[in-house]
Structure 1
Amino acid sequence: MKYINANTILPDALIEELQEYVQAGYIYIPAKDEQHKSWGELSGYRKELYERNEIIIKKYKNGVSIEELAEEYYLSVYAIRKIIYQK
């Protein structure tokens, strides 16, 4: 998230009103509910993890051991078990 100087986007009257509450600080303005994106949606990381996990499950069903999967994907045995047994 990058910071934007309020002077460049907000009208003077609104800046003066905001200064009644905060001066020289940071304010987080959340997205509207209908515009909110879930974790990983914008970057595509959620989809990437889903696809990786599907491959892990498929390999496990084809006989690859949990220990081998943990080593291959640099994850703990516990993490691999969580992925496999989530479905």
Structure 2
Amino acid sequence: MKYINAESAFPQRLVDEMQQYVEGGWVYVPARRHSRKAWGERSGSKEALKRRNAEIRRRFCEGHSIERLSSDYGLAYDTVKKIVYSKK
């Protein structure tokens, strides 16, 4: 995040208005909700985890043990257990 001087970014009337609330302080202006992407959407991590978890569930349904899946995917036993017993 980059610091921007309000006087160079906003009209003077808006700067005057903001100074009534915060004078000489820092103000964070969040991005619009529709322009923000959820975790993992840009990099594809979210989709990759969905595919991995679906594969783990499928293999569990085929008879693979939680211990085996834990070893194959390098995940903790409890993590695999949460994946296979979740309702997703």
| Percent of residue pairs identical | 33
* Superposition map of 1:72-87 within 5 A: 72-87=72-87
- Quote the RMSD (CA, aligned, Å): 2.5
C-alpha displacement of 1:37: 4.1
Is residue 29 from structure 1 mapped to residue 30 from structure 2 by the alignment? yes
**d(CA) in 2 for partners of 1:8, 1:46:** 38
Structure-1-length-normalised TM-score = 0.66
C-alpha displacement of 1:29: 2.4
Residues 60 and 37 (structure 1), Cα distance of their counterparts in 2 relative to 1, 3 Å cut: same
C-alpha displacement of 1:80: 0.8
Aligned structure 1 segments of 4 or more residues deviating by more than 4 angstroms:
none
Structure-2-length-normalised TM-score = 0.66
C-alpha displacement of 1:58: 1.8
Residues 29 and 78 (structure 1), Cα distance of their counterparts in 2 relative to 1, 3 Å cut: same
**d(CA) in 1 for partners of 2:48, 2:7:** 38
Aligned length: 84
Q: Which has the larger radius of gyration?
A: 2
Residues 46 and 13 (structure 1), Cα distance of their counterparts in 2 relative to 1, 3 Å cut: same
